[in-house]
Amino acid sequence: MEVSSNVWLATILVGGLLVALGNINYNSAKDRERGKSASEKALSILGEEFRRNLPRIKSARASLAGNSVPTVAFETTAWDVVSNSGLLTNLDPDTLSNVTRIYYLIGQAERYRSQILDLSIGVASALQSSQATRETYLGYLRTTVDQLEPMLQTEIDRSAKKPGVG
């Protein structure tokens, strides 16, 4: 049986097309796998920071119950590194939303804590309305801690359920 050169040319073209498509898809899949792995490692690092921040939240709650200012700041170092590196791009949207919401609330809590400290010992403490303003910020901080604690616990529990994470 003799095969014409046109059939061989078509075979070569189809084969070349398949190789090109395979190469493109292989590289895309490999990049996706690397990104997912990096995101899981980043989430693992954040999980450690979550675990260290949970006792700080409980301590802050105890201080706030006594109408005093929490003295220990929340940790955000891992978040600063991870969020600026683009490692979270392949997380599922729900997890990414929860993590960013947690760190937004941590940032809010730190701003309120800073404001309360300024109103307690800074120049602003000499103002006539400083006590009322301090009470307002204490209320804001209580609300923020109340929102933050269950979210943080949920993410800690979620990371404990995932194999290889946390």
Structure tokens at 157: 């529990």
The model carries a pTM of 0.77
Separation between Cα atoms, residue 2 and residue 128, nearest integer Å:
103
The pLDDT tens digits of the residues spanning 128-165 come to: 677 888 889 999 999 999 999 999 999 999 877 765 44
